[in-house]
Structure 1
């Protein structure tokens, strides 16, 4: 009964996202495909490498398809027991080659994550701090995400079966000379366990950026191919 209720809520959120998009004027749409590799070094230590490309699909009330930037990222994660982990990451964003007036960006990330199980639903809380560095300024960001995931068939996930992931994340960005910026993100994904080492995942993320000042509405279509070794 609980699982059925949660599924209805999650599917309802997807419908609300589409309805909200149709009603917004200040709106931008993106498609962001990603390839990621998870590599386990030891029993409690692993690496993650990823490459993604963000493309405009809707901007200034026009349908279009051109690249905004390319990201290369790396995370190192240490499991510390009881569903908890610590991680640090580095990311480089190539943007100047796609948009002349913009700057490339170097980003450092520090992360604490905890997951816990209730029945066949896994919940997660994640805290992140980030430093986004360009030639002009450094932006400090503080992030909290709550997420849940579960198999859509049966009590556990088997090869060939789908799963569902949903999350909501709050962000605070601060920088010298600028006022604080608050963002909110709502994400829903459906994935498939293709084999013991490969997942494919696709979904939507709706962002309310700088919602205390002049809200910008952004919708992402994500698609990810995830390999694990």
Structure 2
């Protein structure tokens, strides 16, 4: 699994040599707070920093502040209702989201699915709507489950459909995770975002992701 992540990083460097590519860093902190046995409140802060955009440059792109109420309907399924406040280039963007999540297990492999609908309301442009489907595979690198001070591998694949542009964006993201304690973990990986796959890949975006997940 570690080799898969290494190969993906090497490929990202190769493909970045193409024109019309972008490279950046996405640090994120997520804090989950239980409200009841079936409800939790999830808050996160994510920053997007651009390192290269065809030429080397370092610039701040945006800030996302997210708050989600997650309702577990049973052991394998949950519903999310959330709000994202984005600050980008002097503009304030409001995003509302609704998600359905379900998990299946195939032996020691965890398979997570997420179907979501989003409404984006910018202050300077027209509103737009997106439909998203994501599935992720997760596997412990030691034994059948990931214990404290152990690592795991996760591979995510997502498709984002923009109703207004009638476009589909592909996202692919391999991660290595490390469980620091029973209530927090770190993930490091590369996320690739392609352009409109219906027509042509008009932009190749590569993001180095570092995520810290904390449960209170």
1:141-160 map, 5 Å: 141-160=130-149
- Kindly indicate whether residue 56 of structure 2 is the aligned counterpart of residue 63 of structure 1: yes
Distance (whole Å) between structure 1 residues aligned to residue 169 and residue 215 of structure 2: 31
Please, which of 205, 218, 222 is the counterpart of residue 205 of structure 2? 218
Residues 172/128 of structure 1: CA separation in 2 closer, same or farther (3 Å cut)? same
The answer for unaligned runs of 5 or more in structure 2 is none
Residues 29/115 of structure 1: CA separation in 2 closer, same or farther (3 Å cut)? same
Structure with bigger strand share is: 2
Alignment deviations for residues 63-119 of structure 1 (CA, whole Å, 9 cap, x no partner): 22221011100111111114011111100001134xxxxx32100000001101111
Q: What is the TM-score of this pair, normalised by structure 1?
A: 0.87
Aligned residue pairs, count: 214
Cα distance, 1:17 vs. partner? Answer: 3.8
Runs (4 or more) in structure 1 with deviation over 6 Å come to none
The answer for unaligned runs of 5 or more in structure 1 is 1-6, 98-102
Task: Report SS of the residue matched to 1:147.
Answer: strand
Bigger shift: residues 208-217 or 37-46: 208-217
Aligned residue number for residue 198 of structure 1 = 184
Is 2:5–2:189's contact at 8 Å kept on the other side of the alignment? no
Residues 30/11 of structure 1: CA separation in 2 closer, same or farther (3 Å cut)? closer
Aligned residue number for residue 46 of structure 1 = 40
Aligned residue number for residue 128 of structure 2 = 139
Cα distance, 1:21 vs. partner? Answer: 2.0
Cα distance, 1:16 vs. partner? Answer: 6.8
- Kindly indicate whether residue 45 of structure 2 is the aligned counterpart of residue 34 of structure 1: no
Is 1:90–1:108's contact at 8 Å kept on the other side of the alignment? yes
Q: What is the TM-score of this pair, normalised by structure 2?
A: 0.92
Distance (whole Å) between structure 2 residues aligned to residue 23 and residue 96 of structure 1: 27
Distance (whole Å) between structure 2 residues aligned to residue 82 and residue 20 of structure 1: 42
Cα distance, 1:10 vs. partner? Answer: 4.1
Tell me the C-alpha RMSD between the 2 structures: 1.9
Aligned residue number for residue 106 of structure 2 = 118
Cα distance, 1:56 vs. partner? Answer: 0.4
Alignment deviations for residues 6-60 of structure 1 (CA, whole Å, 9 cap, x no partner): x48944862574265245211011101111101111111111100111000111x
Quick one: higher RCO (CA 8 Å, sep 6+), 1 or 2?
2
Task: Report SS of the residue matched to 2:8.
Answer: helix
Cα distance, 1:156 vs. partner? Answer: 1.2
Task: Report SS of the residue matched to 2:73.
Answer: strand
